[in-house]
Structure 1
Amino acid sequence: MGILKFIGRAAKELSVVFAALAITACASTGGPLGLSEAQEKAIGEQQHPQIVAAFGGEMDDPHLTAYVNGIFDRLMSASEQPNADIDIYLLDSPIVNAMALPGHVYVTRGLMSLASSEAELAGVIGHEIGHIFKRHTAKRVSRGNLAQIGAVAAAILTGDADTAQMVGQGAQLYLLRFSRSQEYESDLIGTRLLGASGYNPLGAAQFLNTLGAWSNLEMQIAGVQEPPEYLKTHPNSANRVQRAAQEANAIGAGGGDVIRNGYLKRIDGMIYGDDPMKQGFIRGRDFIHPTIGIAFTVPQGFQMRNTSQAVVAQSQSGAQMQFTGANVEQSPTQIIDGPLSESLGVQLSPSRAININGRNAAVGQARADTQGGQVDVTAYVIQWQGTMNYIFLWVTPANQTRGLQQPIAQSVQSLRTIDARSANTPPARRIDIVTVQSSDRASSLANYMAFPSYKEERFRIMNGLPSNQEVQPGSLVKLVR
């Protein structure tokens, strides 16, 4: 969980309470949005800090960052616009994602952990470059600043699978879904860039195939029917994979650099998933953040997920919670009555001042109509230290609110300080590259994977190993330990 530095104002386009987060960009004349390239670049510069903050900041790994930059430079040098003013950033997020804004390309370490070769990563980067070259991103960026807390909460409140999964993947600053034609266009550019720069052009199709398999497994595990974040903004399909492969074959899929072993050695030791010290961790019903020095407990029956913007939890009956923090120079009642209500699009008033464990706090509640029926929204704001406030947002089906009042109150009251030394912080999981021995099998290697379930399925997908194939002695494979 990251700590928000402000509560932004809600975008005016959210005229319907808890409408979808996709905010329509403005249009006038000229260019994709009626904007000049300089204006598009300015939009990218404005949104850039929010993307970086929402996805964990830039990776503090000069060697890995330089490696990614080298791949990017190789692709750009072979492109039709080698001098285009574009930079690439490696983001410290476990979320599998890659994004583009005018002048900016982003990939996450989560995506790097899923790729199995330099050609695959280059295919992703080339695809994002394609979006910029064709000015797709200028059509997709939202106008102004999204209210970050409101965005996460609105995603919870909409009640539909699309926005609910957004919360599950982090509820970051979202770009609208690219159209199918735009995806095909960028696939084409990315695949051709691979060939032009000397990579095996099949890299793009291979990663799309891996991504689709990983997406299906994640949906199966989570019991949802919506894809993860990357596939929301980059719709995937078997047809996309097939078309990318056909284009690769047309330009010479049999040749070019793959660079599997070199890539795997580069990511050896990279953190996988959340960094417990930086992002906190979940232990049972407790969320613990040793660096910030806080912890709280969710009610029985709630399942938590730790995202880079918030901790979210959900019960089987549909009640949901979001916990986050904000540096705001306002009292708890002012926060609820002003920016928080504005960002949610519903008035959480009259708020009332309360005391929680000796700290100034406030609570506000409102009832709202959503696609799934009436819900009650309850917001608690606790002034923690100075201008730092912690915020609990609870969304409960109206017919469940009374029965959940006491468990919710107890959860809010459980917010407490902890000593980092006594937090018993688990070590971060890391990518471990190993050499396959003659006695190894996929099933035996999968036993080392630091996952509670679906070990072999994860192992096979992360290593691009089909279900009907075995590992080859002497080859390198990825483990997560």
Structure 2
Amino acid sequence: MLSGPVWLTTILGKPMLRGMKSFITCLILSGWLLLPGCATNPVTGKQDLVLMTEDQEIGLGRRAHREMMRQYRPYNDPELQRYVEEIVRELSQQSHRKDLVFHVTVLDSPQINAFALPGGYIYITRGIMAYMNSEAELAGVLGHEIGHVTARHGVRQQSAGTLTDLVGKGIEVLTGSQIASQAAGIGGVALIRGYGRKHELEADRLGAEYLARVGYDPEEMISVLGILKSQEEFERKLAEQEGREPNVYHGIFSTHPDNDSRLQEVVQAADKFRSPVARKVNRERFLRLVEGLTFGPGESDGVLRDQKFYHGDLDLFIEFPEGWKIENLPSRLVASPADGELQLLVAVEDLNRYLTPKEFLTRQTQGRLRQGQDIQTGDFAGYTGYTTLNIKGTPRPGRVAAVIQGTRVYTITAIGKDQSVLDRYDRRVLHTVRSMRHLKGGEKKLAKPQRIRLIRAKPGDTFASLAKQSTLTNHPVEQLRLINGMYPKGELKPGQWIKIVH
């Protein structure tokens, strides 16, 4: 949770990514996005109608990468980062753009995704790596993204607006929410769902070729598809049970149906490029390197368990209403009831001067606070009241609160569709504010992220028995099967290396 008061940067409860928006605007105004011209496609050798030269493409990618790294964190595991870089280097040297330096970053995000920006910038989340079980599967994902870059799919989009979507695609990947991309003015359904079927299939073909040339089995791309389809099937079932929309994966391979014959064809066609050396899988090497990988939210983001939020660094506990959907975004917490007619946002910032909660709120609302009152949370002093929020040019009723913890201030903003909605949920909003307190002794361990551990299956071990030893609380048997590539009904063999979560 970062940034300042939520009501100053909100569009109907949806946080505006002001830095990204101004960054994209600056690119457009400074002439980085130019009128179309022709250039030779490095893959086909034919002339393409494109928006920029290769130097301009690299410049755009460099600037987009800097902004991405201001918004999001790389995963702090140097050995894992070097490992991924090594695979990308090997694959890219077999690509159609051998002279291009590829930059890959493992991102500290639980979302299941990978994506590429123009100019050779590739990103893969620790979230997707948790579901892989071999180096060859990892290479399949990275090879696909290298294929997008070598074929210049980003540059071949036909409008400047589409190119801004490329940057926005990364935002949605990392937040796991369409809130961020929509609020920043980044639409582009086609790009959020990938580059379109034609370009996705071309990236599959190129990725399979690069895998084969290096010595991996291109069939591993189909294995990755199976992993993603299993995860999506589980997410859809879970969403139906919980009465919410599924948070399904919209990246690589997502346009393929289960039995896509064309994917089979491009994979088989890549066999002619196979290296004469034995085909690499490197399962144990990969598993050794992902042991200890954070699973789910990271420690610096706080941890959500059921309706409770634990943050070790902030020494903070918050409890949200039963049945509400909660999103732990990089800049704030966003919670909403099932009907979606109200959004509750929680953010934190450092105080620059010593103020009471009342003084802080009065300043932030410019004196437009109504029915103000003190509110005592579990451990902190606070102040709350009603105000009218200007949301995208439309006045909306809101309850705002400020809770001060030392030199930090938490801002809580509830925005209703109308006053009747705000009144209906007001008691639950106030209960959430009053729940804020320090962590208790036994709760500090709940603020620690879960991590992947490796064990060898013993005779008699089952996923059900291992689930009882895991800290997973939400469908632990299914989740263990998913991260081990054995969903929905696979079982263990004695001596097999298995990933568990603690």
Q: CA deviation at 1:442?
A: 4.2
CA distance change for structure 1 residues 353 and 181 in 2, over 3 Å: closer, same or farther?
farther
Q: CA deviation at 1:106?
A: 0.8
The answer to whether the aligner puts 1:39 opposite 2:61 as a matched pair is no
CA distance change for structure 1 residues 164 and 471 in 2, over 3 Å: closer, same or farther?
closer
Instruction: Indicate conservation of the 8 Å contact 1:336/1:381, yes or no.
Output: no
Instruction: Indicate conservation of the 8 Å contact 2:37/2:51, yes or no.
Output: yes
The answer to whether the aligner puts 1:217 opposite 2:234 as a matched pair is yes
Instruction: Indicate conservation of the 8 Å contact 1:291/1:420, yes or no.
Output: no
Q: CA deviation at 1:431?
A: 1.0
Instruction: Indicate conservation of the 8 Å contact 2:239/2:245, yes or no.
Output: no
Write the distance in 2 (CA, Å) between the matches of 1:210 and 1:186: 18
Write the distance in 2 (CA, Å) between the matches of 1:173 and 1:203: 37
Instruction: Summarize deviations over 1:211-270 as a string: whole Å, max 9, x none.
Output: 111012122213368553642676343258543333222333996212222211211122
Instruction: Indicate conservation of the 8 Å contact 2:111/2:176, yes or no.
Output: no
Instruction: Summarize deviations over 1:44-95 as a string: whole Å, max 9, x none.
Output: 223224433544x112211111111111111112212222122011112211
Residue equivalent to 1:440: 461
Instruction: Summarize deviations over 1:291-310 as a string: whole Å, max 9, x none.
Output: 12334333455343433332
1:306 maps to amino acid: N
Residue equivalent to 1:238: 257
The answer to whether the aligner puts 1:3 opposite 2:11 as a matched pair is no
Write the distance in 2 (CA, Å) between the matches of 1:141 and 1:295: 40
The answer to whether the aligner puts 1:166 opposite 2:178 as a matched pair is yes
Residue equivalent to 1:378: 398
Q: Percent same amino acid at aligned positions?
A: 24
1:166 maps to amino acid: Q
The 5 Å alignment of 1:72-151 reads 72-102=88-118, 103-138=120-155, 139=157, 140-142=162-164
Deviation larger for 287-296 or 183-192: 287-296
Q: Which runs of 5+ in 2 are unaligned?
A: 39-48, 354-359, 376-380
Instruction: Indicate conservation of the 8 Å contact 1:375/1:397, yes or no.
Output: no
CA distance change for structure 1 residues 280 and 468 in 2, over 3 Å: closer, same or farther?
closer
Q: CA deviation at 1:112?
A: 0.8
Residue equivalent to 2:494: 473
The answer to whether the aligner puts 1:287 opposite 2:309 as a matched pair is yes
By relative contact order (CA 8 Å, sep 6+), the higher-ranking structure is 1
Q: CA deviation at 1:198?
A: 0.9
SS in 1 for 2:304: strand
The answer to whether the aligner puts 1:29 opposite 2:36 as a matched pair is yes
Q: CA deviation at 1:395?
A: 3.8
Residue equivalent to 2:343: 320
Q: 1:204 aligns with which of 193, 211, 221?
A: 221
Q: 1:298 aligns with which of 303, 320, 332?
A: 320
SS in 2 for 1:228: coil
Q: CA deviation at 1:117?
A: 0.9
Instruction: Indicate conservation of the 8 Å contact 1:332/1:382, yes or no.
Output: yes
Residue equivalent to 2:477: 456
Write the distance in 1 (CA, Å) between the matches of 2:107 and 2:494: 34
SS in 2 for 1:94: coil
CA distance change for structure 1 residues 298 and 435 in 2, over 3 Å: closer, same or farther?
closer
Residue equivalent to 2:267: 248
Write the distance in 2 (CA, Å) between the matches of 1:293 and 1:97: 30
Write the distance in 1 (CA, Å) between the matches of 2:58 and 2:257: 33
Instruction: Summarize deviations over 1:22-47 as a string: whole Å, max 9, x none.
Output: 99996632266623333332332232
CA distance change for structure 1 residues 315 and 110 in 2, over 3 Å: closer, same or farther?
same
Residue equivalent to 2:205: 188
Q: 1:270 aligns with which of 293, 296, 300?
A: 293
Write the distance in 1 (CA, Å) between the matches of 2:351 and 2:260: 46
Which is higher, the Rg of structure 1 or of structure 2? 2
1:282 maps to amino acid: L
Q: CA deviation at 1:311?
A: 1.7
2:458 maps to amino acid: Q
TM-score by length of structure 1 reads 0.76
SS in 1 for 2:347: strand
Residue equivalent to 1:228: 247
Write the distance in 2 (CA, Å) between the matches of 1:468 and 1:297: 35
Write the distance in 2 (CA, Å) between the matches of 1:406 and 1:77: 60
CA distance change for structure 1 residues 271 and 234 in 2, over 3 Å: closer, same or farther?
same
Instruction: Indicate conservation of the 8 Å contact 1:93/1:109, yes or no.
Output: yes
TM-score by length of structure 2 reads 0.73
Instruction: Indicate conservation of the 8 Å contact 1:333/1:361, yes or no.
Output: no
CA distance change for structure 1 residues 297 and 458 in 2, over 3 Å: closer, same or farther?
closer
2:178 maps to amino acid: M
Q: 2:445 aligns with which of 415, 425, 429?
A: 425
1:59 maps to amino acid: Y
RMSD: 4.5
Write the distance in 2 (CA, Å) between the matches of 1:317 and 1:76: 47
The answer to whether the aligner puts 1:66 opposite 2:65 as a matched pair is no
Q: 1:260 aligns with which of 273, 283, 289?
A: 283
Write the distance in 2 (CA, Å) between the matches of 1:33 and 1:350: 51
CA distance change for structure 1 residues 227 and 405 in 2, over 3 Å: closer, same or farther?
closer
SS in 2 for 1:456: helix
CA distance change for structure 1 residues 361 and 442 in 2, over 3 Å: closer, same or farther?
closer
Instruction: Indicate conservation of the 8 Å contact 1:3/1:309, yes or no.
Output: yes
Instruction: Indicate conservation of the 8 Å contact 1:169/1:228, yes or no.
Output: no
Write the distance in 1 (CA, Å) between the matches of 2:286 and 2:132: 9
SS in 2 for 1:135: coil
2:231 maps to amino acid: W
1:312 maps to amino acid: V
Q: CA deviation at 1:433?
A: 1.6
Write the distance in 2 (CA, Å) between the matches of 1:429 and 1:135: 38
CA distance change for structure 1 residues 453 and 289 in 2, over 3 Å: closer, same or farther?
closer
